[in-house]
Amino acid sequence: MLRDSFGRVATDLRVSLTDKCNLRCTYCMPPEGLDWLPNAQLLTADEIVRLVTIGVERLGVTEVRYTGGEPLLRRELVDIVSRTTALTPKPQVSLTTNGIGLARLAESLAEAGLDRVNVSLDTLDPETFKRLAHRDRHADVIAGLAAADGAGLRPVKVNAVLMRGVNDHEAASLLRWCLDQGYELRFIEQMPLDAQHGWSREGMVTADEILDLLSASFDLTADDLEDRGSAPAERFLVDGGPARVGVIGSVTRPFCGACDRVRLTADGQVRNCLFATEESDLKTAMRAGASDEELAERWIAAVARKRAGHGIDDPSFLQPSRPMSAIGG
Ligand code: SAM
């Protein structure tokens, strides 16, 4: 098992399939993009499936989420998903995506056994989308969401990051729209993970503010506080339920004590925390001929070193050198 020194067990594996993205969301990367990893450094599909198999079959991973960068840009995605869902015991397999291209791929992904998707959508306004993501692709995201729903990849979850003065006035309308479509909306506090290092505590729209913005239009009551478990989102019943909204207060309401996540970057590094400043290199070991057992041992050792918390509030906090797009969100 992937147990750390505080007794937490990692069962939820987030795998970045590529660091590349076709959007340039301002809280993530600059408009000109980044220096992408050279192809030779990316894990191949076989290498990804080998490591995921070790995670599931030897290390107790029960959930696998493919992310990026933008995972739909990875040509072998459907193949990787179908090989993952064929593992024993079968893990829950989901995808975090910006939705561009999902209209084309949703059916094949569902046939490959994908359980669910989280689609990122920060605004209902195509002009705001262009300003925020530096690409004119709002309609593609909306079509991707509808296709995911049509393919049965439910519950379709929508991730939204609010930025002050850009889209924070849309909190209630985003929720109304998601309720109307039958999607489950989760707001994520903006985290210090942008490549430009432009995050500031003052600029962040906090969980408290998000709840205030929503409460002006909806009656929210805390839901499932007792069985929240390791879920990052605090969930609230909207107008008495059954519809819900989630708020992920990673910065102001950290949930590190219940964290069950471990990450694998597109270049084969294990990260025991989104904010870790150290990584453990499985790719080099694998390419040098390490056995599955040796790789599992390295992975166990990497998780054992996990710190108690992300420490954003600590004066000694250092933003990780890799941005969110390279780590895998
Ligand atoms: N490209 C995919 C997508 O858009 O969902 C997957 C990768 S993206 C890094 C995963 C999630 O991280 C998205 O919902 C995105 O909004 C969120 N994200 C990116 N940078 C963030 C930041 N600095 N703070 C909070 N969330 C962030």
What DSSP element (H or E) covers 77? Answer: helix 77-85
Q: Could you tell me which residues are beta bridge partners of residue 235?
A: 246
Whole-number pLDDT of residue 225: 63
Question: Can you tell me which atom of ligand 1 is nearest the CA of 327?
Answer: 9
Per the CB < 8 A criterion, the answer to whether 14 and 181 are in contact is no
Whole-number pLDDT of residue 177: 98
- Separation of alpha carbons 245 and 213, rounded Å: 13
Q: How far apart are the first and last CA of the chain?
A: 23
Whole-number pLDDT of residue 24: 97
- The half-sphere exposure of 297 on its side-chain side, counting CA atoms within 13 A, is 6
Whole-number pLDDT of residue 329: 80
Whole-number pLDDT of residue 230: 78
Task: Indicate if ligand 1 lies below 6 Å from the C-beta of 160.
Answer: no
The tokens for 289 are 């001929």
The average pLDDT across 216-222 equals 96
- pLDDT single digits (tens) 60-89: 999 999 999 999 999 999 999 999 999 999
262 assigned binding-site residue:
yes
Distances in Å between the alpha carbon of 120 and those of 97, 125, 132, 226, 324?
A: 6, 14, 12, 27, 14
Most ligand 1 atoms within 8 A of CB, residue of 18, 134, 161, 252 to mutate: 161
178 assigned binding-site residue:
no
Q: What is the mean pLDDT of the chain?
A: 95
pLDDT band at 315 (very low <50, low <70, confident <90, very high): confident
Quick check: helix, strand or coil at residue 280? strand
Whole-number pLDDT of residue 222: 93
Indicate left, alpha or beta for 273 from its phi (over 0: left) and psi (-120 to 50: alpha).
beta
Peptide bond into 232 cis (omega under 30): no
- For residue 329, report the distance from its CA to the centre of ligand 1, in Å: 5
The tokens for 310 are 């992300």
- pLDDT single digits (tens) 35-50: 999 999 999 999 999 9
- For residue 323, report the distance from its CA to the centre of ligand 1, in Å: 10
Quick check: helix, strand or coil at residue 322? coil
Task: Indicate if ligand 1 lies below 6 Å from the C-beta of 67.
Answer: yes
Residue with CA nearest ligand 1 atom 8? 329
The tokens for 158 are 């929508």
Per the CB < 8 A criterion, the answer to whether 112 and 103 are in contact is no
Peptide bond into 323 cis (omega under 30): no
pTM: 0.97
Indicate left, alpha or beta for 67 from its phi (over 0: left) and psi (-120 to 50: alpha).
beta
Residue with CA nearest ligand 1 atom 19? 28
- For residue 192, report the distance from its CA to the centre of ligand 1, in Å: 12
- pLDDT single digits (tens) 232-251: 889 999 999 999 999 999 99
Whole-number pLDDT of residue 70: 98
- pLDDT single digits (tens) 167-211: 999 999 999 999 999 999 999 999 998 999 989 988 899 999 999
The average pLDDT across 1-28 equals 97
Task: Indicate if ligand 1 lies below 6 Å from the C-beta of 159.
Answer: yes
pLDDT band at 153 (very low <50, low <70, confident <90, very high): very high
- For residue 52, report the distance from its CA to the centre of ligand 1, in Å: 22
Per the CB < 8 A criterion, the answer to whether 199 and 318 are in contact is no
Task: Indicate if ligand 1 lies below 6 Å from the C-beta of 28.
Answer: yes
Per the CB < 8 A criterion, the answer to whether 166 and 131 are in contact is yes
Task: Indicate if ligand 1 lies below 6 Å from the C-beta of 191.
Answer: yes
The average pLDDT across 113-137 equals 98
309 assigned binding-site residue:
no
Question: Can you tell me which atom of ligand 1 is nearest the CA of 189?
Answer: 25
- Separation of alpha carbons 80 and 234, rounded Å: 31
